[in-house]
Structure 1
Amino acid sequence: MVGNLAGKTIVITGATSGIGATAARALVAQGATVVPVGRSPQRAAALSDELGVETLVADYARFTDVRRLAAELLDRCPVIDVLVHNAGGVVNGRQRTEDGHETTLQTNYLAPYLLQSLLHDRLAASRANVVVTSSAAHRSARIRLDDLEYDKRRYIGGLAYAAAKLADLLFSRELASRAKETGITSVAFHPGTVASDFGRDAKGFSKFIYHTRAGRRLFGVVDNDEGARPLIALAGLSDPQQVNGQYFDRLKPDAPTSKQARDADLAARLWETTADMLGLPAVS
């Protein structure tokens, strides 16, 4: 399943903590040229010192950061063999970014979509594989194309997160559907419920899951090493075409999804709607 990673360039967002950092360490050890991306300058500096690589910094709550990141990647990486969209998180309560978007949607979905679009030509030339960190939470969500930002529905942070992860899965599947034209393959995965910094600020029921022994046992919370295993495996695929468009639950392929997650027409319409939201051509 995993090929020779020597000479392969792998870009990982959300790489300065949690499963992203664990995967970056493992892939460097396997010989890949890893370009980690994180939000925290301090953590980026620490990871750079540890791995001996340059870690790039971008806050997905700012599209200016995403555009700068894309320019830095294009300048630095003549080839991008693998792009891992792993950055994301949950915020407490409805918040808006400086770009005017609901924060959970932007950081988990809109920013990766923007980065993908800005890197499209380089990724197509590289025949890249795109790995998307989704979540089993997507099965509780419902996408409404007329209300992606939860302006017309009651805002619940957990549901907003689940909807963003459903959007990520549909994004991956639409990418995969275009592989014959673009050469870019894509696969999505659920890493498990991971006891990482992701749940650090959790409240309510999420706090029970992440921060109590009973919650961690009941919901099968895993550590970063276990949560990173599917990311490492999928980033190192020798033949991504064999699993193009699939959704993995940890290392299990063709994992259960929701009806909307299997809706190819919805995936295409979401792609077009997002491009229109961001003022982008829907070509990638």
Structure 2
Amino acid sequence: MAKFTENQLNDYRYPPSYTEEQKLANSETQVKEAIKGSSALRNKTTKTFGQGSYANDTNVKNNSDVDINVRLDASIFVQLPNGKTDADYGYSDSNYTFSAYRQDVYHALVDYFGSKYVKDNNKCITILPDSTRVETDVVPTLKFVRYDSETAKVEGVKFISNSGQSIVNFPLQHIENGKWKNSQTQKRFKRLTRIYRRIRYKMIDDGIPVGDNITSFLLECLVWNVPNSIFNDYDNWTDRLKESIRHIYTKTTNVEDCKNWGEVSELLYLFVGRKWSVKDVNDYMLQMWNYLEY
């Protein structure tokens, strides 16, 4: 007999409660107010928006926090085609560096929330929770322009961690693609993603040694790579979950079968330059299958 009933899986598909959702929304609003009120940033062109599970509507009950991107558009990181220079595309160096911008965002948050609530971390600036908001990770970024050919380009974001690591992602494309797949699967893409995330938390709570590389982001990307037929051709969550695990496990048994899998944005490969490996995923799928007693 399976570990969780159909009714339990059905419950796991739901997002946070209204009260939690309100705190999530408050967090984003407060960050926007902090940036708007900064004298150093007031005349800069910035865009503040949610990303991660909150913005993608895949967060789960009682494990909700917020990732907020504060993107500066005045200074830009560019990845040009081979043999091309900034001058070929009209780009010029800016005197306003990323490190200076990150400091301005940090000070804007301290001025608004108070220093006791703001913690400067390696990849983000964390705002601690209070009665009106959840814990919030603010990521200062610059617009990133990647030329895939001399004329074709895509826009994302890039930032540099305090340890010097450069990180590129495409959060807005991730959001749009997630909406699209959700519409193609009768809203089951995001619901199945929540089920995967809830089970991971259950495994951790039950003392199962889930590897640090198995992140919530990775789980969403794995569900993204599940064929729409698995969402649409089965009439219950037990079968959708079982068949999706079976698919991911089978495809990650051989690296060649999943080497072209992308993250949800479909602008970065899922298994290139990541902290997780194909073997990590394959091992976890077996671990998850056994935990669920299938």
The two structures share one fold, judged by TM-score above 0.5: no
Structure 2 length-normalised TM:
0.27
Normalised by the size of structure 1, how large is the TM-score?
0.27
More strand by share: 2
